[in-house]
Structure 1
């Protein structure tokens, strides 16, 4: 009887959490984040495979970064079928990955690819990513075979989508 009640409760909880009759996928929890040095990350910033990449540099301690993340998640969802990939490059401190970054990813149900840039030579990689970048966050790189644009600013969804369309 207890087992049946549990499954009934689970079923109705899932049913109530669904919007407009759509079943929402239960996401698996993230347990690790791949860590890259700049030299390891560099190929992700220079791909020429027919896709358009939107690479956002952010951190959990950056309030403007957190505010704009839903725009990147929405872009990832709406443009995945249009050969666009969103990559969220975390600049969180490596010692805080388990206690801060991974819980943040799970709590906010991030679906975009999240990686950690773990390289202390910021004087080298900041300028290598874009010569105009001061190192401030948030920052975003949008690129494909047609072009490359770098932004040291925050985005809302409309502005982000508009900038993406200029390079598609």
Structure 2
């Protein structure tokens, strides 16, 4: 009986590890639908990179809010702007070490002058940057976002 429980636990934890290590590499055209989903879900899209100190500092706020709101219609998407050549050596190990279970995309599109402006005309391109939206309600943050700002902004869109 103990062996069956142990095997079940290992399968369960390994499925979380596989999810945490999964990173979909996308160009901007593939990413663009994430910016305008008409559902009743609140989307929190965070642009970040493993080499960005402010991004790493705010990450625990996102993880805590994601956990706090796991039973609400809120979806977190982390868009990494790391160099694609470091996906296996830096990005995936970072995701695993920090137990990021939310969806992670690697945006691999060299035409940043276009997509930065297309995402938000006020965005300088600096990271971290965060979009929080639900249907036509949209907020944009350039720079670090606190736990309180995240929570208040998401709750205001639910």
- TM-score class normalised by the smaller sequence: 0.7 to 0.9
Match of 1:156 in 2: 146
Larger radius of gyration: 1
C-alpha distance in structure 2 between counterparts of 1:133 and 1:73, whole Å? 24
C-alpha distance in structure 2 between counterparts of 1:65 and 1:154, whole Å? 7
Cα 1:166–1:61 change in 2 (3 A) is same
| 2:65–2:151 Cα contact (<8 Å) kept | yes
- Specify the SS of the correspondent of 1:142: strand
Q: Greater relative contact order (Cα 8 A, min sep 6): structure 1 or 2?
A: 2
Match of 2:66 in 1: 76
C-alpha distance in structure 2 between counterparts of 1:77 and 1:43, whole Å? 25
Alpha-carbon shift at residue 32 of structure 1 (Å): 3.8
What's the RMSD between the two structures over aligned residues? Answer: 1.9
Does 1:28 find its partner at 2:17? yes
- Specify the SS of the correspondent of 2:69: helix
| 1:146–1:167 Cα contact (<8 Å) kept | no
How many residue pairs end up in the alignment? 148
Match of 1:134 in 2: 124
- Tell me the TM-score normalised to structure 1 length: 0.82
Match of 2:133 in 1: 143
Describe the superposition over 1:83-126 as per-residue Cα deviations: whole angstroms up to 9, x where unpaired.
00000000000000000000000011111111110000000000
C-alpha distance in structure 2 between counterparts of 1:165 and 1:153, whole Å? 20
Match of 2:57 among 44, 63, 67: 67
Describe the superposition over 1:106-164 as per-residue Cα deviations: whole angstroms up to 9, x where unpaired.
01111111111000000000000000000000000000114111110201212211122
- Tell me the TM-score normalised to structure 2 length: 0.87
Does 1:117 find its partner at 2:107? yes
| 1:58–1:139 Cα contact (<8 Å) kept | yes
